[in-house]
Chains A and B, each alone.
Chain A
Amino acid sequence: GQNIDQPTEMTATEGAIVQINCTYQTSGFNGLFWYQQHAGEAPTFLSYNVLDGLEEKGRFSSFLSRSKGYSYLLLKELQMKDSASYLCAVRDSNYQLIWGAGTKLIIKP
């Protein structure tokens, strides 16, 4: 079966760095996405990786290792507004997205 694993919840301090991991087992691979979802709101796109390596976008970076079935989202200089759920999703060989359950990130002052 297809599976995406990510931690259920993480806590970090304002101004610090946090890494959210995602491991996947899917039928084929055509890209990995990270989305941010604030409570009661819709998911919004953060990043897309299709090749191995690190993609940096401001305070957020996303890393992919296809051979290990592994990705992480790195958030630097954490702000209170970063408190949200972070969703990992993999596009499989049929170009369908398989979603993880999300990681709830709690930022403390």
Chain B
Amino acid sequence: IAGITQAPTSQILAAGRRMTLRCTQDMRHNAMYWYRQDLGLGLRLIHYSNTAGTTGKGEVPDGYSVSRANTDDFPLTLASAVPSQTSVYFCASSDVQDTGELFFGEGSRLTVL
């Protein structure tokens, strides 16, 4: 079944540790996104990529980095995790040639202690 796969689905992490959240899509979408979702707040864009080889900063990029070596993969790295990065992280992709509807992965719940 085509879609987006995120890993891990859940992780508890000690502050100061490095963590990479993986995201893979098989829909050949050009655009990919990383969001975080916190209670009472809307989805907030961390980083995005409009096409392989390019990335851009979203609303809350500090403490996070991304890479887009190919169309399918868009990993998100926390270089040195802090408790404020405790959140649910969603990866998404879209075909910008269409309406731009986003397709989301199932989410990665990250707890930083």
Contact = CB atoms under 8 A, between A and B. Distances in A.
B101 A45 contact: yes
Interface stretch (A11-19, A64-72, A93-101): A93-101
Interface stretch (B60-68, B70-78, B104-112): B104-112
A33 interface: yes
Interface string B87-113: 000100000100111111111000000
B35 to A, nearest CB: 8
Interface residues of B, number: 19
What is the predominant secondary structure among interface residues of chain B facing chain A?
loop
A94 to B, nearest CB: 10
A102 B39 CA distance: 10
27 contacts: A31-B100, A33-B101, A35-B102, A42-B106, A42-B107, A43-B43, A43-B90, A43-B102, A43-B104, A44-B104, A45-B101, A45-B103, A48-B99, A87-B42, A87-B43, A89-B43, A95-B100, A96-B48, A96-B58, A97-B43, A97-B45, A98-B42, A99-B43, A100-B42, A101-B40, A101-B42, A102-B42
| 6 tightest A-B CB contacts, nearest first | A99-B42, A42-B104, A99-B43, A101-B42, A45-B101, A48-B99
